């Protein structure tokens, strides 16, 4: 494999495992420090959760979730080279997960069983955040109190569904990262 480098899983049962990162235009693996922060935030809910790594790329976020006890992770990645590398890394690490080699927008339209945690880090140049957020809501992909992690360019103002409330956020260089908590409509209002 022509590799750009490797990333390291930073916590859980796969801690310190190295994952091959193939070359791909626009690929930005989430840095160790940001993943550490994110999974500290998610620590109370990640074990036993159903997770979706949308626009998976290297799969760093979904792999970290598996390492920390997620019950299920589905990776969606349209780039065939990245999907193949992800499958190879899963096999080498001896962990089970579904890898969907499809365009995320097309895949989301099908609808499916809700996820507890969604990682959404699309290629920045494609400007897919708002359409993906709408599709997650419209097609039943989110559990009532789901957690949604989003990476976007620093300074961007994303219109997210009303049910998504900012839980925590931070900056890493030119990247803003936000963890949202989905709050279902109040049945008494």
Q: pLDDT by residue (tens digit) across 46-82?
A: 999 999 999 999 999 999 999 999 999 999 999 999 9
Of 8, 4, 5, 33, nearest to 18 by C-alpha is 8
Model-wide pTM > 0.75: yes
- pLDDT averaged over the chain? 90
Contact 66, 45 (CB under 8 A): no
Gap between the Cα atoms of 170 and 92, Å rounded: 33
Gap between the Cα atoms of 148 and 136, Å rounded: 10
Give the confidence band of 1 by pLDDT, cuts at 50, 70, 90. Answer: very low
Question: What region, left, alpha or beta, does residue 127 occupy, with left being phi > 0 and alpha being psi -120 to 50 degrees?
Answer: left
- 110-146 pLDDT, tens digit each: 988 999 999 999 887 788 889 999 999 999 999 999 9
Among 5-9, 88-92, 95-99, whose mean pLDDT is lowest? Answer: 5-9
What pLDDT does residue 80 have? 93
Rounded mean pLDDT, 178-183: 95
pLDDT at 150 over 90: yes
Please, is 182 exposed, middle or buried when counting C-beta atoms within 10 Å of its C-beta (0-12, 13-18, 19+)? buried
Residue predicted with more confidence, 12 or 3: 12
Among 8-22, 75-89, 103-117, 173-187, whose mean pLDDT is lowest? Answer: 173-187
User: Which domains does the chain carry?
Assistant: 30-182 (3.40.50.150)
Torsion sign, CA atoms 46, 49, 53, 54: negative
What pLDDT does residue 189 have? 40
Count of residues making up the chain: 189
Residue predicted with more confidence, 20 or 89: 89
Please, is 188 exposed, middle or buried when counting C-beta atoms within 10 Å of its C-beta (0-12, 13-18, 19+)? exposed
% of the chain beyond a pLDDT of 70? 95
pLDDT at 181 over 70: yes
Rounded mean pLDDT, 95-112: 93
Distance of CA 31 to the CA centre of its chain: 13
**DSSP state letter for 77:** -
Helix, strand, or coil (residue 112): coil
């Amino acid at each position: 494999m022509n590799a750009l480098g490797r990333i390291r899983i930073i916590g859980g049962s796969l801690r310190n495992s190295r994952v091959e990162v193939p070359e791909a235009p626009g690929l930005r693996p989430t840095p160790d420090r940001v993943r550490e922060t994110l999974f500290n935030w998610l620590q109370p809910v990640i074990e036993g959760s159903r997770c979706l790594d949308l626009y998976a790329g290297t799969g760093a976020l979904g792999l970290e979730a598996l390492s920390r006890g997620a019950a299920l992770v589905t990776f969606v990645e349209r780039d065939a080279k990245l999907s193949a590398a992800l499958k190879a890394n899963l096999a080498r690490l001896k962990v089970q997960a579904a890898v969907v080699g499809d365009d995320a927008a097309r895949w989301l339209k099908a609808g499916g069983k809700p996820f507890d945690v969604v990682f959404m880090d699309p290629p920045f140049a494609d400007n897919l955040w708002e359409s993906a957020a709408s599709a997650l809501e419209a097609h039943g992909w989110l559990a009532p109190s789901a957690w949604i992690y989003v990476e976007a360019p620093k300074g961007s103002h994303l219109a997210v569904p009303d049910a998504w409330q900012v839980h925590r956020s931070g900056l890493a260089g030119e990247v803003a990262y936000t963890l949202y908590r989905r709050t279902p409509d109040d049945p008494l209002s």
